Amino acid sequence: MTKFRSVRKVMERPSKHWVGDGFHVYPVFGSLAFSNELSPLLMFDYADPKKFNAHLSTKPRGVGQHPHRGFETVTVAMQGEIEHHDSTGNKGVIGEGDVQWMTAGRGIIHEEYHSKEFTKNGGTLEMCQLWVNLPKKHKMTKPRYQPITKEDIPEVPLPLNSADVLGKARIIAGELGDTKGAASTFSPVQMWDVQLPHVGSEIDLPFPAHHNCIVFVRRGSVEVLSGEGDQKMKASKLGPQDVALMRLDGSDILRLRVVESDTALLILGGEPLDEPIAAQGPFVMNTQAEIQQAIRDYREGKMGR
C-alpha cells in the first residue's frame, strides 16, 4: 500500500518587500527562516514577474556591496538578467534559465544588480534566491562559484517511466530518478524547477523520505494529496506563492494534482544538518562567538580576499 507524503503546514503568500532597489520579493519562509525546521535551507526570496522600464542611469538597480559567511546563495533567473561581481574578481551575468550557486564559505563581499543590457532596454524580471546552510565542517571553506547555464541543467519528463508526458522538471540540485542535478553541494540538497501544464493530471514524485521537503508555487495552483493510496486522500490546495511544508512521516512519494494550466513549482529540500544555527544579517554560523568574529573580520577588512 503506497503512502503519500503528508502536509505539515501550509504557509500562505506573505507580503512583499524591496531588497535594494532592484528586487521586489516575497520572503517565502517567513518566520521559519533561519530555523532547523527547514534545514539545510535558511531563507528564500522570490521576485514574481515585474516590468522594469528602460533606465538611463549609469547605476543599475540592485544591491550594493555586502558580505556573506557560512552558507551558500543560489540565484535563479527565470526572466531577465542579473549581473554580479565580488571581492575575489569574479563577475558575470545570470541569464534567463541560468543559475548561480555561490559558496560564501569563510567570507566574500559581492554585489548583484540588473545587467547593463537589461537596465538599458528594460523588460520583465522574475528571479529567486535561496540560502543554503553549510555544515559546520565546511563553513570556513574557500569561496567558490558554480555558474550553471540553462543548457547545463538536466530535464526529466514527468511522471517518471511513463509514455504519457504530463510535465517536466529541471534538476538544479539533488536527483530525480536516475538523473542527477547540475550543482555540486556540501550536503544533500534538492532543488527542482517543475512545469505542470495539464489541469487534472496527477503526478507522483519520488523524494527522499529522510529529507525535509517544501513545495512552492511560482504560478498556477496545485493540490498536494496526502494519505494512503486506497483510501480517501486529503487535498491541500496551494495558490501562487503559497508553500507546503511536508512531514517527515516515512513516505518517499510526493503526489500532486494540477488545478490550473501552466502551473510552475519549485520543489526544495535536503537532509537536515541537525546543527545549531546562529544568524545575524549576512552571516550564518553555529555560535554567537563565531558571528562576532565574522563581524570583526569584516570590519577589519579580512573578509573576501
Which positions make up the binding site for Fe cation? 66, 68, 110, 112
Closest CA to 250 of 41, 1, 33: 1
C-alpha cell at 97: 534559465
Q: How far apart are CA 191 and CA 4, in angstroms?
A: 20
Q: How far, in Å, are 25, 34, 280, 288 from residue 37 at the CA level?
A: 22, 8, 18, 20
d(CA 24, CA 12): 18
Measured between alpha carbons, how far is 191 from 172 in angstroms, rounded to an integer? 5
Contact between 107 and 70 (Cβ < 8 Å): no
Taking a C-beta distance cutoff of 8 angstroms, is the pair 255, 207 a contact? no
Cα–Cα distance, 305 to 142 (Å, whole number): 10
Binding residues, as ranges, are: 66, 68, 110, 112
Residue 150 in 3-state DSSP?
Answer: helix
